[in-house]
Each structure stands twice: as C-alpha cells, then as structure tokens.
Structure 1
Amino acid sequence: MLIAHLSDLHIRPQGMLYQGLVDSNSQCQQAIEHLNGLWPRPDVVIVSGDLVDEGLPAEYEMARTLLDRIEQPLLLIPGNHDDLTLFKASFAQRMPMAGTGPAHFVAGSLGPVRIIGLDISVPGEHHGDMTPAAQAWLDATLAQEPERPTLVMLHQPPFLSGIPYIDTYACRNGQRLAEVLARYPAVERVVCGHIHRHMLLRFGGTLLCTAPSTTTAIALRLDAQAEAASYVEPPALLLHHWKADTGLITHWVPIGTFAGPMAFA
C-alpha cells in the first residue's frame, strides 16, 4: 500500500501570492503533477492541514480546483490556517466528515493500513490541543481494531522541535496522545504537518514524522533566541510504503525534475 503525503499547501485566491512573495498555488500544482507521475501510483493521498492560508472562501474554491486533479481517494485534516466550516463544506463530497464538531475521520477500506485523522485544531488559535475529548475519541477508535496496522495524522506536532518560533504553536498536552499510542503498538506511524520541515523521532512507543511543505521551509534555527524566518527550499512530499515484511517505510521525495536516470545504482 502506497500513501502519498502532502502538507501545508497554503493555497491563495487565484493570482495572489503566499505572504506576497511565493506562488504557493503554482507549487501545489507542481506537487500534484509530480504525484500523478509516480509509479506505482499511490493508493491514497493524505494532506496534513493548512490547505489554505487565510481561511477565505476564494482560497477554498482554488483548493478544490487544484485538489480535484488528484484521482486517488483524498483524506484531509484542517490546520491552524483553515476555517473548519469552509473546510468541511468544501470537501464533503471527497471524504466523509461529521457535520458538527472536529473533523476526525477513520479510513479503513483503502488497504491494509487504517488511516486515522485527528483534528486537534483550536478555532482562532495557531497552536493545537490534545483535549480529553480528542484523547477519548482516539482511544476508542484504535480499540475497534487494536492489532491493525495504523497511521495517525494530525496537524500540529505534539513535541518541541527546538525551533523556538514554531514551538510556540505546537500541539499542547501531547502526553495525552503519547499515553494512548503506548497502548496500541500496531500504530506504525504518527504524521504531522505545520512545521514545514521533515523531522523524525520516537514518540509514544512508535515513530512520528513531520512532512515538508509544498510552499516554504521554516528555517532550521535551533538557537533559543533565533528570529523567525523561512526559505524557499526544494519542495517535497512523503511517500509511506506499507509492506507486510517490513511494516511502514517512509520516503522523503523531492518535487521537481532532476538529472537522470543514469545507468548505475
């Protein structure tokens, strides 16, 4: 089973730039073209939040136009830049979501790996929160098939990365998530967005990784006094490959055209 993973698209209204500087719509289009050229083709595409930048109706209209080019099943969760009501209304036909409350989801019919979306967004805030209600929902959901290989997706990472200006907006009460995960060793991976960089660590007895953005990269500045900054680094996506003999393998895949193929390995 192949799971393609995009994140932090920050789509703008047609003709507008992200932060007035970066053509996030064009970069999203390039990412989708790259994704559609992958072989074997992914079985499902997941997007770990921040589909749009300001939560505007015109941004969601553009997001639908771009994401409709993805032919595979599409699974989405909102991020801190999304508007929950518009997010649900815009993608209700692409995936099942509850009409009220958080945009949690469970997708169990797309292959051997069950995919769970955990909406930890806090309306009007940039940080996330693993609330007692979210903790209880995840625990009950994992308990339905406790031995099934599972990927859990959320937006804000539940750990401190060491980059001070993004850690302010991490997922709070991450220990609640870790406590649930520790009870379910079949959870193969926890994946996040938000941080605009690829990171990997052990968390809750499993592996957690963050996805790069298709738009910009948060500057890797680990000084506690560092000032916020971003770079237009090569965009990338993640490809999570499930094999029965190995479990889930995660690949970082740069987006673009590169020299090759060359006749050696």
Structure 2
Amino acid sequence: MLFCQITDTHIKAGRKHAYGMVDTATMLEHCVDSVMQLKQRPDVVLLTGDLVDYGRDDEYALLATLLKPLTMPMYLIPGNHDERDALRRAFPDHEYLYQWSPFIQYAIDDYPVRIIALDTLIPGQGGGRLCDERLQWLDSTLAEKPDTPTLVVMHHPPFRTGLGHMDILGLEGADALEAVISRHSQVERLACGHLHRSIQVRFGGSLASTCPSSAHQIALDLSADGPDNFVLEPPGYQLHWWDGQRLVTHTAVIGSFPGPYPFRTDGKLID
C-alpha cells in the first residue's frame, strides 16, 4: 500500500502569490501532476494542514479545484492557517471531517494500515495544542485496534527541531502525546507538516516525521535566534510505502530533471 503525503500548500484566493513571490497554486498543480505521473500510483493522499493561507471560503474553493485531478481518496486535516468550518464547507462529501466535532479528528479503517488524524489547531494562533479531550480520544481510539498497524497524521510536529523561530510555534501537549503513543506499539509513524522540511526523530517508541512543502521551504538555520525566513528550494512530497511489515518513506522532489540514465549497457557498467 502506498500513501502520498502533501502538506503546507498555502493556497490564496485568486491565485495570489504568497509573500508576494511564491506561486502556491501553480506549485500545487505541479505537485498533483507529479503524483499522477508516478509509476506506482498512491492508494491514498493525505493532506496535513496549512491547506490555505487565511482559512477563507474562496481559498478552499480554489484548493478543491486544484486537487480535482487526484483520482484516489483524499484525507485532509487542518493546520494553523486553516479554519475548520470553512474546510468542511469546501469538501461536503468528505464525511470523515464530521466524525467528531468540534475537532477534525477521525479514524479510517478501510486499508491495511489504519489512519488516525489529530487536530492540533488553535484558532488564530501559529502554535498547536493537543488538549486532554483530544488526547483521550486518541488513546481510546488506538485501544480499539491494538493489532492493526496505524499511521497517525497531524499538522504540528510534537518535537523540537532546532529551527528556533518554528519551535516557538510548537505543540502544547507533546509530552502527553508521547506518553499515549508509547502505550500503543501499533503506531508505525506520526506524519506531520508545519515545518516545510523533511525531518525525522524517534518518538514514543515510534517515529515522528515532517514532510516538505509543495511550495516554499523553511530556511535551514539551526541557530536558536535564526531569522524567520523561507527559501525556494525544490518543493516536494512524501510517499509512505507499507510493505506488509514496515512503513518505508521516500521524499519526492517536484520538478523536471535530466534522466533517468542507465548504469549499464549490455550488462557492463558504462565507463
């Protein structure tokens, strides 16, 4: 089974450029086109938050249009730039968005790997939170199927990264989340967004990771007082491949590049 994770698309109304220079709509079109051209087409697409920039209905309308070429099931969660009700209005046929209110948290049991989505949104704030109510839901939901491998998806990563300005916008309740995860060995991965980079760390006996943005990336500066900057490094997405025993992650770069070239001809290495 193959999961595709796309994150931090930051769509703006009217295809307006983010920060005056990042064409997020066109970059998402390129991302969608890249996914649809994969030799092994994903079974599921996961969109892990900051789907739009201001949580507006017109932004979500454009997002829905840009995602239409994806033919596989999609599962969305909100990030700190999103608004729950507007997201639900834009995707009325996505019944899972209504599985638990007011939060957008849900469990999907249709695949060999269970999907559990967490809502870390604090309206109007950049940082995230997992309160006792959300964590208790997670604990009880995980306990329902202890023998089913599970992928947990969320926007805010539950760990410090060394990117000082982003760590300020971290996740309240991360320690409590780690305690919950440590009680449920079936959790294969916590797949997160928010950081616009590919980062991995051990967490609660499992692995927590973040995915590159389909648009701009956070500048790689690990100084505690590093500036709040972004860079136009190649955008990307991730493919999480379940081989029946393990979840293996590949980071795909979006763009057109020379190749592929053969290493050998007539069975011999090319000199």
TM-score, normalisation: structure 2 = 0.94
Which runs of structure 2 are paired with 1:34-113 in the superposition (5 Å)?
A: 34-98=34-98, 100-109=101-110, 111-113=111-113
Measured in 2, the distance between the counterparts of 1:105 and 1:90 equals: 18
**Alignment size in residue pairs:** 263
Contact 2:57 2:90 in 1 (8 A): no
The residue aligned with 2:267 is: none
Letter of the structure 2 residue corresponding to residue 261 of structure 1: P
Which runs of structure 2 are paired with 1:64-213 in the superposition (5 Å)?
A: 64-98=64-98, 100-109=101-110, 111-213=111-213
Q: Does 1:224 align with 2:224?
A: yes
Q: Does 1:249 align with 2:225?
A: no
SS in structure 1 opposite 2:97? coil
Per-residue Cα deviation, 1:53-83 (whole angstroms, up to 9, x for no partner)? 1112211110010112211000010000001
State the Cα distance separating 1:95 from its structure 2 match: 4.3
Contact 2:15 2:24 in 1 (8 A): no
Which aligned segments of 4 or more residues in structure 1 are displaced greater than 3 angstroms? none
Contact 2:7 2:211 in 1 (8 A): yes
SS in structure 1 opposite 2:41? coil
Measured in 2, the distance between the counterparts of 1:119 and 1:144 equals: 19
Larger-gyration structure (1/2): 2
Contact 1:4 1:237 in 2 (8 A): yes
Letter of the structure 2 residue corresponding to residue 250 of structure 1: T
Contact 1:75 1:95 in 2 (8 A): no
Measured in 1, the distance between the counterparts of 2:209 and 2:125 equals: 23
SS in structure 2 opposite 1:124? coil
Measured in 2, the distance between the counterparts of 1:83 and 1:13 equals: 15
Measured in 1, the distance between the counterparts of 2:95 and 2:43 equals: 15
Letter of the structure 2 residue corresponding to residue 44 of structure 1: V
Letter of the structure 2 residue corresponding to residue 208 of structure 1: A
The residue aligned with 2:30 is: 30
Structure-2 change in CA distance of 1:263 and 1:95 (3 Å) = farther
Per-residue Cα deviation, 1:102-148 (whole angstroms, up to 9, x for no partner)? 00111110x21001110011111111111101110000110110111
TM-score, normalisation: structure 1 = 0.96
Measured in 2, the distance between the counterparts of 1:208 and 1:223 equals: 22
Which runs of structure 2 are paired with 1:8-23 in the superposition (5 Å)?
A: 8-23=8-23
The residue aligned with 2:257 is: 258
Contact 1:108 1:114 in 2 (8 A): yes
State the Cα distance separating 1:96 from its structure 2 match: 1.7
Contact 1:4 1:46 in 2 (8 A): yes
Greater Cα offset, 129-138 or 92-101? 92-101
State the Cα distance separating 1:94 from its structure 2 match: 3.1
Measured in 2, the distance between the counterparts of 1:32 and 1:144 equals: 34
SS in structure 1 opposite 2:13? coil
Contact 2:97 2:105 in 1 (8 A): yes
Measured in 1, the distance between the counterparts of 2:149 and 2:263 equals: 35
Q: Which consecutive residues of structure 1, in runs of 5 or more, have no partner in the other structure?
A: none
Aligned identity (percent) is 38
State the Cα distance separating 1:100 from its structure 2 match: 3.1
Measured in 1, the distance between the counterparts of 2:95 and 2:194 equals: 22
